[in-house]
Structure formats: C-alpha cells, structure tokens
Structure 1
Amino acid sequence: MDTITNESNNLEDNRYINNPIDTLLLPKFEEVQLSSLQVSYYKVMLFNIGLFYLLLMLGAGCAFYFIEELQPYWYIPVAVIAFLLCVSLLISKISFKKRGFAFRTHDVVYRSGVITVNTIIIPYNRVQHVALHEGLLSRKLGLATIEIFTAGGNSSDLKIPGLEKSHAEKIKQLLVGKVLNQQPDEA
C-alpha cells in the first residue's frame, strides 16, 4: 500500500503540463529571404525540355513515315507539339523564377512550384545524410545538386538543384558539420 501512495505522490509532484501554443505568434517561413538558383541552371531545364520534345517529334515523325493513313493529318500533331512546347517553356521559366532556398540557424527551407507552391523545411537535427551530385551538363556548367536525407526513407527528402559547385560543397560541409554535432558521443 505504501508504494501506491508514494507513486501517486510522485505523479502529483511531476505533473505533466501541456500548454497551448499560439500559432499566430510562430515565426513565418514565408518572410524568409530565399536565394535563387544559378541562372545557368535554366539552361539545364531547357536542355531537358528540348530533349523530351526532340524524342517526341522523332517518334511522331516515324509514325507518319511508316503509317500511310496518318500522313494527310501531319499538321495536327505538329500543332499540338508546338503548343505543348510553348506551354512547357512558359511553365519552366515561371518555375525557375519561383524556386529558392535558405539555410537558417536551425533548418533548411526550399520552395518550388508553379500551380501549387511546395515549401519543404527540414530541421538540421533530422538530417541523416547529405549527397552532392553533378549531372553531365551540370558539370559542364559548374553546377551541382545537394540531396538531403532524413531518417526513415530510401530516397532523398530534399533536392536543391542549380547550385554553383563551390557553393554546393560549402553547403554540404555545413550540413555534415550540423549532423556530426547532433550525434551523441559513442563510448
């Protein structure tokens, strides 16, 4: 009986307090000044769009060459592909301008999107691994992509493309330093 009384007294002394948080007073990530991607990254985006539409036009050209019934209607897919190419170029330009990133004291912020704007915020204490990647064209333009991994996934949680390679290396060192500072000492 004594142990039950002592346990209930300890619970009363160590009360669990769960006060509400005024969410209107939280810091606003929307007010963070974001850094833009390198202008030369837009060339990478244009190259990817161009390659896609080149392959699409080659496929359509082969279809019209080998299927005689389609030949009188060649202007329809040409008009559709031209329209889609214009829309793709417009969306890619807007998308490029809307992308941005920031590294703050406790987290990293990345914003992207045209129709729906996605903002990803990852606290440094959740970062498990950081990778730096360079594609073939990106390497020629001196660009790199930082990939940030958090626990529980086999793919990256955040990719920041279009960074100058030297800047990306500095960011990687910053993140690796934060990860190492967060790890408990192993004895």
Structure 2
Amino acid sequence: MNEFTNNTIEINQLPKFEEVLLKGLNPKYITVLLFNFSLLLVFVILGFSALFYFKQDAFSNTIWTIILVAIVVILAGVVVFAKLSFQKKGYAFREHDAIYKSGLISETTTIIPFNRVQHVALHQGFISRKLGLASVELFTAGGSSSDLEIPGLLLEDAQIIKNLVSQKINPLKLDEPIEVVSTETPLTEEHE
C-alpha cells in the first residue's frame, strides 16, 4: 500500500518556463492586426466626417485641424504599437502543457496543462482565412470562452497543434477493444 506524501518543493527546483524557447507568430499575422486596427480607425474617421459634413460649424477650423492631426498620430501609433507587440508574442508546446506569452506594456504568460484542457478548437477569421492563418483555442472546464488562444499560426501548423492537443486530452487506449456498430440494416430473404 502506498503511503500518502506531500513533501515541500524548493522554489529553485521548479522548472523555469522563462527558459523555454518560444516560437514567434507567423509574420502574416501583422496584416490581420493592422487590418483590425484600420477598420476601427475607418469607423472613427467616418464618424468625424459625418459630423464635419452635417455640423461643420460645430468646431473651428483649428479644432478640425487638431482632430485630423490626432487621427494621423493615432494611426501611426497604432501601427508602431501593433508591430512592437507582435514581436513580443510567442508560444511553445511541451510534453504536458502549452505556453503563450504576449504583451508589450504588461507582459502575460499563460500556461495551460493538457490534463486541464476539455476542448480544443481551430478558428479562422475572414482575413486570416485569406492569408492561410488560423488560431488554436484551448478551453478548460467552467468557462464559455477560451482560456488560451494562440493566433497567427499557419493553417497547417494549427491543424497539427489541434491534433496534438486532441491526442493529449483524449489518448487512444490501445488495450481497449474498439466497438464497431453497424448502421446497415440486415438483408432479409423474401419468399414468394
């Protein structure tokens, strides 16, 4: 009979996830990020254009110039921020878990053990699909949204990762017999 043990672990003996070499996202993903930011900016510009068209006298020419300059500065800032934050994103898959790191100002590293994963999904948005990219989402128990999403993967890589995680969470047990259920109806002889 095994005795229960619960020994203390020294902090310096814990594996260091910081030492794991992370793989960067596909460079095409920057296009998806810039498209999403540009779409938001288009709506802002359309809003100010409508305001300018219908209520040109709402602001002085100086204020309208400041608004235009601010939009250009924000657009440039978004492009720079997107490129810098893109370089900080990375992922890795180890034997027992998945790691995803992101964040430019506030860095976040998420580690999900495979034994906690309930479901894995592959997602492609419109622009991602056109670029041959996909995201892999890992779901743990108790949530309706994914606990870990790794965007900017080539579709082929995302499919391989999805299959790997699926095998980790639902391993095929070789010693269990596989039951085959026939869906065909048996033929019966007709007598005249």
TM-score by length of 1: 0.86
Matched, 1:164 2:154: yes
Q: Letter of the aligned partner of 2:52 in structure 1?
A: F
Is the partner of 1:27 in helix, strand or coil?
Answer: coil
Q: CA deviation at 1:15?
A: 7.2
Q: What CA deviation, in whole Å up to 9, does each residue of 1:89-111 have, x standing for no partner?
A: 11111110000000001100000
CA distance in structure 2 between the aligned counterparts of 1:112 and 1:139, rounded to whole angstroms: 22
Q: Letter of the aligned partner of 2:150 in structure 1?
A: I
Equivalent in the alignment of 2:186: none
Q: CA deviation at 1:181?
A: 2.1
Q: CA deviation at 1:129?
A: 0.2
Is the partner of 1:181 in helix, strand or coil?
Answer: coil
Equivalent positions of 1:138-149 (< 5 A) are 138-149=128-139
Give percent identity, aligned residues only. 48
Q: CA deviation at 1:69?
A: 2.5
TM-score by length of 2: 0.84
Matched, 1:74 2:64: yes
Equivalent in the alignment of 2:78: 88
Equivalent positions of 1:97-136 (< 5 A) are 97-136=87-126
Q: Letter of the aligned partner of 1:119 in structure 2?
A: T
Equivalent in the alignment of 2:19: 31
Equivalent in the alignment of 1:47: 35
Q: CA deviation at 1:14?
A: 8.5
Is the partner of 1:174 in helix, strand or coil?
Answer: helix
Q: Show structure 1 runs of 5+ residues with no match.
A: 1-12
Matched, 1:65 2:53: yes
Q: What CA deviation, in whole Å up to 9, does each residue of 1:50-105 have, x standing for no partner?
A: 11111111111111111122252211111211121121111111110000000001
CA RMSD of aligned residues (A): 1.9
Equivalent in the alignment of 1:20: 8
CA distance in structure 1 between the aligned counterparts of 2:95 and 2:32, rounded to whole angstroms: 31
Q: Letter of the aligned partner of 1:147 in structure 2?
A: E
Is the partner of 2:138 in helix, strand or coil?
Answer: strand
Q: CA deviation at 1:17?
A: 4.2
Q: What CA deviation, in whole Å up to 9, does each residue of 1:5-44 have, x standing for no partner?
A: xxxxxxxx99764322101121110110011111111111
The ranges of structure 1 where at least 4 consecutive aligned residues each deviate by more than 2 angstroms after the TM superposition are: 13-19
Q: Show structure 2 runs of 5+ residues with no match.
A: 177-192
CA contact (8 A) 1:65 1:71 kept: no
Q: Whose helix fraction is larger, Structure 1's or Structure 2's? A: 1
Cα distance change of structure 1 residues 14 and 36 upon mapping to structure 2, 3 Å threshold: closer
Q: CA deviation at 1:176?
A: 0.6
Cα distance change of structure 1 residues 27 and 164 upon mapping to structure 2, 3 Å threshold: same
Q: Letter of the aligned partner of 1:47 in structure 2?
A: F
Is the partner of 2:146 in helix, strand or coil?
Answer: coil
